[in-house]
Amino acid sequence: MKTHRNTPPAIAAGVLLASLLLSTPTRAADPAPGGAKAKPTDPEVRTEERAVLTQAPLVPPPITRKHPAKVTVEIEVREVTKRLADGVEYLFWTFGGDVPGSFIRIREGDQVEFHLNNHQGNKMPHNIDLHAVTGPGGGAASSFTAPGHSSQFSFKALNPGLYVYHCATAPVGMHVANGMYGLILVEPKEGLPRVDREYYIMQGDFYTTGRYGEEGLQGFDMNKAIDEKPTYVVFNGSVGALVGDRALTAKVGEKLRFYIGNGGPNLVSSFHVIGEIFDNVYQEGGVVATQHQVQTTLVPAGGSAMVEFTVDVPGTYILVDHSIFRTFNKGALGMLKVEGPPNLIVYSGKEVDATYIGRAAEAGSDAEKRMASLKAQVAQEIKSNPKIAGLNKEIEIEKGKAIYMQTCFVCHMAGGEGIAGQIPPLAKSDFLASLTKEDYIRGVLLGRQGQIVVNGKTYNGIMTPLNYLTDEQIANVLTYVRNSFGNSGEPVTVQEVTRIRAEVPAPPANKFE
């Protein structure tokens, strides 16, 4: 098979980084437990190389060689605290420092020498079970490794396909729930059909002690995990990992292939791209395109799928788990941004593109930085001047923006423009201007429905109650809405939200969580 015509620069950079990391051995190898067994040499193997590893959403380049090789794969297990959502941190257990783990790409017939290094700062022992390995436990027992130690084992890639790998250390569910999964592609001998771009997307469910959006470092909630009631369902390890700046990109006319994995631990994904139809689906990660013209494909926990499609229309396409509350309320949302000459058929998502990218893009990181610097300013200000109301409002707006980008923008859009005919705009809305603070607060707590007229257009939709947000979050998001998109108004205070929450009838607890 042919190589990519144009390797996207991002992929090239990722590859370079991965090979740099690989070429630096990090620890002296301890002798293999019990002494290494003499291994028969594989007569088919003619060359040796190190696997190129990439972090999602990047995929290593296609394999061009026509013969099996001995491939060395080296993965470091790290327990790292990272962002799960804006303001929410989690101690992830990872293969390679990220969730999902590094993408491994090898060829059918390759002889793989696998090194699993368990970082010396880790608390737990870990191992790896590669579904691509034929042999008891998929390598789990041979790779079982205490912190600060490393293991090595070898296998021959007999079966082509897209396979999940995961940690299989007891309690397995917890290791997987903490992010220990990734994909390994065993390319068939004849290669896969040529495409213009490939991406790596992996879904996972997370169980935190705090509810959705609750800020701070969150612990793992065993009961929620056993009950299969995740707090978060996300693509590529965090809410917003594939939006804004980090959205997937493509050009009109290009053929794309997604390698989709589902780490679980519990949920099965109904993977769907809003506004696209998959030309080919390699169901369950097999190497035969078994279906064509597919809207939604099921990706089992501990399983995978490959989908191919050509993008014809520019705009922003939304990646979802079509078990749709997971998208609207738990974070399973990504974006594919397609650029190119405009087409007559303009899809409303395109406005998302125009306003969201660039601004929302930086919402995560920039807003955080800005909040930190504002907080520092406040601390400074408190010292010298008790009048800090103005700065406080700015902080509330920054925090509110983060909530908006997590909760409201899926309907009202990043620039508050709404969706024609379905979702009313919040930008320069005359209806909004006529509302009191109290109306606002009630609207979020109780939801909204019934006919309304906004800027001369009639809407009759349903906005689900968002009462799972805390009083502070509601106050901040409303302060943000009242001071953005050309609106201006006084801040909404936490006390006001608390008071109105006490007045309104309480909807069933956790209904929308």
Partner 1 sequence: MLALAAGALGGAEPRPAPGMIRVPAGVHRPLVRSITDAAEVPVAAFDLDVLPVTNARFLEFVLANPRWARSRVKRLFADGAYLARWAGDHELGSNAPPDAPVTDVSWFAAKAYAQWRGARLPTLAEWEYAALASPTGPNGAQDPEFRARLLRWYSTPDDAPGRVGQGTPNYWGVHDLHGLIWEWVSDFNNSLVTGDARGDGGLERDLFCGAGAAGARDPSDFPAFMRYGFRSSLKASYTVHNLGFRCARDPAPTPR
Sites of contact with partner 1 (CB under 8 A): 28, 30, 33-34, 79, 81, 90-91, 120-125, 127, 129, 135-137, 140-142, 144-149, 168-172, 174, 209, 217-220, 222-223, 226
Cα distance between residue 151 and residue 307, in whole Å = 34
User: Looking only at residues 428 through 487 of this chain, which bind ligand HEC when binding is defined by CB under 6 A?
Assistant: 429, 431-432, 440, 443-444, 448-450, 452, 454, 459-464, 466, 477-478, 481
Contact residue for ligand HEC among 142, 407, 476, 479 (CB under 6 A):
407
Local structure of 466: helix, strand or coil: coil
Q: How far is the CB of 431 from ligand HEC (least distance, A)?
A: 4
- Contacted entry of Cu ion, ligand HEC, partner 1, none for residue 486, CB cut-off 5 to 8 Å set by kind: none
Please report, for residues 244, 319, 338, 473, the alpha-carbon distance to residue 260 in angstroms, rounded to integers and kept in the order given: 20, 11, 19, 33
The two tokens of residue 488 are 């201006």
Report the run of H or E that residue 462 belongs to, with start and end: strand 462-463
Size of site (CB under 6 A) for ligand HEC:
31
CB of 296 to ligand HEC, least distance (A): 19
Closer residue to ligand HEC, CB minimum distance, 167 or 332: 332
The one-character DSSP state at 322 is S
CB of residue 106 to partner 1, shortest distance in Å: 20
The SS3 assignment for 372 reads helix
Applying CB under 6 A, the span of 160-168, 210-218, 389-397, 417-425 interacting with ligand HEC comes to: 417-425
**E strand residue ranges, 119-220:** 129-130, 149-156, 161-166, 181-187, 197-206, 216-218
Residue-wise DSSP of 53-119: EE-TT--PPPP--SS-EEEEEEEEEEEEEEEEETTEEEEEEEESSSSSPPEEEEETT-EEEEEEEE-
Q: List all residues 6 or more positions away from 27 whose beta carbon is below 8 Å from its beta carbon.
A: 117, 120, 150
> What backbone phi and psi angles, to 5 degrees, belong to 146?
-75, 160
Tokens 């929410």, residue located: 88
Could you say whether residue 169 binds Cu ion (CB under 5 A)?
yes
Q: x-or-dash pattern for ligand HEC, window 319-338, by CB under 6 A?
A: ---------x----------
Q: Decide: is 126 part of the binding site for ligand HEC (CB under 6 A).
A: no
The reply on whether position 419 binds ligand HEC by CB under 6 A is no
- 180 touches which of partner 1, ligand HEC, Cu ion, none (CB within 5 to 8 A by kind)? Cu ion
180-199 binders of Cu ion (CB under 5 A) = 180
Fill in the amino acid letter for 315. Answer: G
Q: Does 412 bind Cu ion (CB under 5 A)?
A: no
Stretch 124-143: interaction string toward Cu ion, x if CB under 5 A: --x-----------------
Tell me how crowded residue 342 is: count the other CB atoms within 10 A of its CB: 11
Residues found near ligand HEC in the complex (CB under 6 A): 328, 407-408, 410-412, 423-426, 429, 431-432, 440, 443-444, 448-450, 452, 454, 459-464, 466, 477-478, 481
